[in-house]
Chain A
Amino acid sequence: MMQNTENVLRIHEISKNLGGKAILKSCSLDVARGELKVLIGPSGAGKSTLLQCINCLIQPDSGEIWLNGQQLRRHDKKELCAFRTQVGMIFQDFNLFDHLTAEANVAVALRKVKGMNRHDALQRAREELGRVGLARRAALYPAQLSGGQKQRVAIARALAMDPTVILLDEPTSALDPELVGEVLAVIRDLARGGMTMVMATHQMDFARALATEILFMEQGVIIERGTPDALLAAGAGTRTQAFFTRLQDMGDESAS
Chain B
Amino acid sequence: MDSLITVWNALPFIVGGSLVTIATVCIALGMGLVFGVPLAVGQVYGSPVVQRLVGLYVWFFRGVPILVLLFLFFGLFVGLGLPVEPFLVSCVVLGLTSTAYQSQIFRGAIQSLPQGQLKAARALGMSDGAAIRSIILPQALRLSIPGWANEFSILLKDSAICYVLGTQEIMARTNFVAARTHEHLALFAAAGLLYCLITMVGLYLLRRLENKTHIPGYSTGMN
Decide if A89 touches B123 in the complex (CB within 8 Å).
yes
Residues of chain B with a CB closer than 8 A to A157's CB: 124
Chain B contact residues (Cβ within 8 angstroms of A): what range?
20 to 34
Bound CA–CA A52/B124 (angstroms): 13
Of B122, B127, B216, the residue contacting A143 (CB under 8 A) is: B216
The reply on B134 being an interface residue by CB < 8 A is yes
User: Interface-forming stretch among B63-71, B113-121, B164-172?
Assistant: B113-121
Bound CA–CA A172/B120 (angstroms): 17
User: Interface-forming stretch among A13-21, A34-42, A80-88?
Assistant: A80-88
User: Interface-forming stretch among A108-116, A207-215, A239-247?
Assistant: A108-116
Bound CA–CA A95/B119 (angstroms): 8
Chain A contact residues (Cβ within 8 angstroms of B): what range?
20 to 34
The reply on B23 being an interface residue by CB < 8 A is no
Output the least CB separation between B30 and chain A (Å): 23
Decide if B215 touches A81 in the complex (CB within 8 Å).
no
Bound CA–CA A88/B122 (angstroms): 10
Of B122, B123, B126, B139, the residue contacting A98 (CB under 8 A) is: B139
The reply on A64 being an interface residue by CB < 8 A is no
Decide if B116 touches A81 in the complex (CB within 8 Å).
no
Decide if A82 touches B125 in the complex (CB within 8 Å).
yes
Output the least CB separation between A205 and chain B (Å): 28
Decide if B126 touches A113 in the complex (CB within 8 Å).
yes
Jot down 9 A-B pairs with beta carbons below 8 A, ordered by A. Answer: A57-B119, A98-B215, A99-B138, A109-B121, A112-B130, A113-B125, A141-B218, A157-B124, A158-B124
Point out residues on B near A: beta carbons under 8 Å.
114, 116-117, 119-127, 130, 134-135, 138-139, 142, 215-219
Point out residues on A near B: beta carbons under 8 Å.
52, 55, 57, 77, 81-89, 91, 93-99, 108-109, 112-113, 140-144, 154, 157-158, 161
